[in-house]
Amino acid sequence: MPIVYYLYLSLALFCIGIVGVLTRRNAIIIFMCIEIMLNAVNLLLVAFSKMHPPKAGIDGQLFVFFIMVVAAAEVSVGLAIIVMMYRRIHSVDVNFLNRLKH
């Protein structure tokens, strides 16, 4: 399969993620959409690493592992923050965040 198919697929996933982040109001769903964005990048990196010659190709696959590890660290911190928030106001709706403006 040509590389552009992978490119389109991962860009489509990435855009779904971005639209989700911008439109949804639930913190957990926003968080899921961010994960979709990261996984779209993983897919793209793996596709590109098959496209490039073997020596350069390994780098891309290596990077995917870095992204996975960092994303896991981010999830643990992020869920802790969301839980902390939920304990205070019993909601994970980000409309609450508007209160900070004043």
Partner 1 sequence: MNALLLSALMGVVMMFSGIVLKSKAAIRNIAIAGMLALLLVNILEMNGTVFLVIDSKGMIGFDRFALLFNSIIFFSTFLYLTLSARDMEKVGVNYAEYLALIFFILCGIALVSSFRSLIILFLGIEIISIPLYILTGSDKLNLKSNEASLKYFLLGSFSTGLMLMGIALIYGAKGTFYTSGINMVNGAISPLLIAGMLLLMFSMAFKVSVAPFHFWTPDVYDGAPTVFTSFMATIVKAGVFIAFIRLFDEGFASQQPKWKLIIAILTAATLLIGNITAVFQQSVKRMLAYSSIAQAGFMLLSVYAMSPDSKEGLILYAAAYCMATIGIFAVLIKMSDYTFDGFNGFAKQQPLLAAVTTIFLLSLAGIPLTAGFMAKFYMIKAAMYNSGLLWLPILALVMAAVSVSYYFRVIQAMYFRESSTPSTLTVTPAFRYTLVALAALVVLLGIFPNLLLAWLYF
Contact positions vs partner 1 (CB under 8 A): 3, 7, 14, 17-18, 21, 27, 30-31, 34, 37-38, 40-41, 44-45, 48, 51-53, 56, 59-60, 62-63, 66-67, 70, 73-74, 77-78, 81-82, 84-85, 88-89, 94, 96-97, 99-101
Measured CA distances, 13 to 28, 31, 46, 83, 101 (Å): 18, 15, 15, 27, 32
Q: Which residue has the tokens 């996933």?
A: 13
Q: Which amino acid is at 29?
A: I
Count of other CB atoms within 10 angstroms of residue 94 = 14
Residue pair 36/52 in contact by the 8 Å Cβ criterion: no
Residue nearer to partner 1 on the CB measure, 9 or 67: 67
Q: Which amino acid is at 10?
A: S
Work out how close the CB of 65 gets to partner 1 at its nearest, in angstroms, rounded to a whole number: 10
Work out how close the CB of 31 gets to partner 1 at its nearest, in angstroms, rounded to a whole number: 7
Work out how close the CB of 1 gets to partner 1 at its nearest, in angstroms, rounded to a whole number: 15
